[in-house]
Amino acid sequence: MALTRSFDPFTEMLSLRDAMNRLLEQSFVRPSSVLFGTGSRMIPLDVLETEQGYRITALLPGVKPEDIELLAHEHSLTLKAKYHGGEEGEGQQQGTWLLREIGSGTVERTLAFERPIDANKIEARYENGRLTITVPLSESSRPRRVSVRAATPVSAGAAP
């Protein structure tokens, strides 16, 4: 006969601790989730640095290309996108929302780069909810190869 314990106070304390952490995180770290009923929205990015510059991939599902805005400066790039919610306006069914996580609004993310970028040569391509941005470095910040010349030998009788 095996004896099992149905109540373990240590596991109960850990779950209470997790619940308190979640409550504090929602209240202080992300207050918008408590005030507005939706979680904070952030644009997920991948940023790859190359010798020529940077390649950025942003996931923007459900956003139309005309609702995406890129603003470039010497050392930064700002990406703004406007989401249009799920069932808004015409054709909305009457009923009570049980869960509503598909919101609408504008999201924005700014990347700061260590080296200056060339804002005039940035290219962006949007396909299937994936935005790919190529950000070249400015010519002045790219590494250059410097040629080294041999010094001319000084003759024995000449003063240095």
According to the model, what pLDDT value does residue 31 have?
43
Percent of the chain with pLDDT over 70: 71
Inter-residue contact 40 to 30 (CB < 8 Å): yes
The DSSP H or E segment spanning 13 is helix 9-24
Q: Is the pLDDT of residue 71 over 50?
A: yes
Using CB atoms within 10 Å of the CB of residue 44, give its burial: 0 to 12 exposed, 13 to 18 middle, 19+ buried: exposed
What band does 22 get if pLDDT is binned at 50, 70 and 90?
A: confident
Q: Give dist(CA 104, CA 83) in Å, integer.
A: 5
Nearest of 60, 41, 42, 61 to residue 133 by alpha carbon: 60
Pick from 12-21, 52-61, 123-132: least confident: 12-21
Q: Per-residue confidence at 81, pLDDT binned at 50, 70, 90?
A: very high
Angle at 117 between CA 115 and CA 121, to 5 degrees: 160
Answer whether 44's CB lies under 8 Å from 58's CB: yes
Write down the pTM of the prediction: 0.60
Q: What are phi and psi of 20, to 5 degrees?
A: -65, -40
Q: Which residues on adjacent β-strands are paired with residue 49?
A: 54
User: What number of residues does the chain have?
Assistant: 160
User: Strands 130-136, 53-59: parallel, antiparallel or unpaired by DSSP?
Assistant: antiparallel
67 pLDDT band, cuts 50/70/90, is: very high
> Would the pLDDT of 40 be above 70?
no
